[in-house]
Structure 1
């Protein structure tokens, strides 16, 4: 599988871990997870999937830039031979309600399909109803029996989408 890095496309750029433009995405996600799930789960989620997992040839880390500012991003990595796992989907709070999340979701799907994947898998947390609604309205189907339960009754649920 090979996710081609290259020049900016419709405001998206594929970046390597350590690129300073990833900082708003990583810090924003961390703050979001801590606010919704508390410091323990928030820190665990970010550490469990380090950005190094999302590099070519099996994955990609991409940012959506507006005027050189990171306003959104997402990543994918190899889950199995035909499945990419989508992670780190994020839109900056000041840029929400503008359709950016849909664009951020579509671009890793496009790159994953170009890399040879035929399916996308992802999980979202029970305290992220906006993400749940985005995935469902974008053609993702919940996967029964994939919920992982954490202390305090928090859980995540898996979704899948078959790529064309």
Structure 2
């Protein structure tokens, strides 16, 4: 297993993003409409990772800097986006490995808190985040008033 830093618009990242959107449609009935641009994940204000198994992309995740207090963020926040593991690669700890790299990168970039939005329809994600020290926080971003959304954060 190899984890590589890639651009958010890299073909493998796009392929996995399309797969996670399909998963959201299945579980929630709609896509994640959060506006995302490749530049949001450019270091030092972000990072995007893809994990490969035998050359095939099987997992992804990224973080982006967030300082927009008017959208519910706190100055110094980092936000986890597009965490995903393909069905055939689940259960191997890939998401946990990617999350650890993202947290280290955000901390090294001077971010002080990592936040994320997920939902009860993603129990695997909730289990990962809570077992990694994330606790409930107030809503932020596009989905801050969405009843399907749960917001978690962790000091870095």
TM-score w.r.t. length of structure 2:
0.84
Aligned to 2:151: 158
Look up the SS of the partner of 2:133 in the other structure: coil
CA RMSD, aligned part only?
A: 1.8
Is residue 49 of structure 1 aligned with residue 7 of structure 2?
no
- 1:85 counterpart = 2:79: yes
Q: How does 1:104-123 map to 2 (within 5 A)?
A: 104-123=98-117
Secondary structure at 2:153's aligned position in 1?
Answer: strand
Number of residue pairs aligned between Structure 1 and Structure 2? 145
Deviations 1:21-44 (A, max 9, x none): 213311211110110111xx31xx
Unaligned runs of 5+ in 2: 68-74
* 3-state SS in 2 of match to 1:48: coil
| Distance in structure 1 (CA, Å) of the matches to 2:78 and 2:14 | 23
| TM, length-normalised to structure 1 | 0.80
Aligned to 1:24: 15
- 1:126–1:156 contact (8 Å) kept in structure 2: yes
CA–CA separation in structure 2 for the residues paired with 1:78 and 1:115: 9
- Aligned partners of 1:27, 1:114: CA distance in 2, in Å? 29
SS across alignment from 1:139: coil
